[in-house]
Amino acid sequence: MRVVFLGASSLAIMTANELLKKAHEVIIVEKDKALIDALSNELDCGFVYGDGSKPAILGETDPKDVDYLFCLTGNDQANIISSLVGRSLGFKRIITKIEDPEFEHICLELGLTDTIIPDQTTGHYLADMVEGQDLLALSALIKDEARVFSFVVQTETEAVINSLQLPDECQIICIYREGKFKIPNADFNFKVDDEIVILTHSRNLDYLNKHVLNINVPADNKVQDEVE
């Protein structure tokens, strides 16, 4: 896979290192020339010098041939703007890092569904740890070719989950509605802002990225009351 990082943050560098070990192609867009010069001796990847929020700069990475764009600078507004620019250039999937949780709703309204909030994620993990839950142990259960895929319903529509027409070796395991965990039954209907979590084989990830993230379904169904 080809992966582009906007900003040579510590998170970007650590993730890039892991991807390079697995033979993925990595490109880092960075506006600090001295930092690029220093990293070029450490990382066997491509570099683009310039402001990644500028279409001309981000366009140098050949967006339509990139599988993931990670916007990981230290500035929330820059990450959001760059994500929107990336979407207009045709990047397949865009991950936006924000530090301020107040921007999360804005990101959702703008259609930036793959948003990460590091402090919030760490806070959830530490709170779960206090309650005796080990999320690292849970992640160790996802072995071999098993993968977890999730997406947020963006269109103002509802539909029966079975109408998703998922490929073989794909199973919806839960949803999150207004932050609340639910296990759907066969007749469960989903609606806008529901996060759908799927357990699947790794071979299905490309299909899911292309066909499920942009789901459009009829809006004439009502949500099942029994799961509320």
Judged by average pLDDT, the poorest of 83-92, 109-118, 121-130, 187-196 is 121-130
pLDDT in tens, 55-94: 999 999 999 999 999 999 989 999 999 999 999 999 999 9
- pLDDT value for 60: 95
DSSP string, the chain: -EEEEES--HHHHHHHHHHHHTT-EEEEEES-HHHHHHHTTT--SEEEES-TTSHHHHGGG-GGG-SEEEE--S-HHHHHHHHHHHHHHT-S-EEEE-S-GGGHHHHHHTT---EE-HHHHHHHHHHHHHTT--HHHHHTTS-TTEEEEEEE--SS--EEGGGG-PPSSEEEEEEEETTEEE---TT-EE-TTPEEEEEEEGGGHHHHHHHTTT----S-PPPPGGG-
Residues of the chain with CATH 3.40.50.720: 2-121
For domain 2-121, give the CATH number: 3.40.50.720
**pTM of the entire predicted model:** 0.62
Mean pLDDT over 98-102 rounds to 88
Most confident region among 14-23, 113-122, 135-144, 213-222 by mean pLDDT: 14-23
For domain 142-227, give the CATH number: 3.30.70.1450
As a whole-number percent, the residues of the chain with pLDDT over 70 amount to 79
Higher pLDDT, 137 or 87: 87
Residues of the chain with CATH 3.30.70.1450: 142-227
Q: What is the mean pLDDT of the chain?
A: 81
pLDDT in tens, 147-202: 888 877 766 444 545 566 788 888 888 888 888 889 988 777 888 788 888 888 88
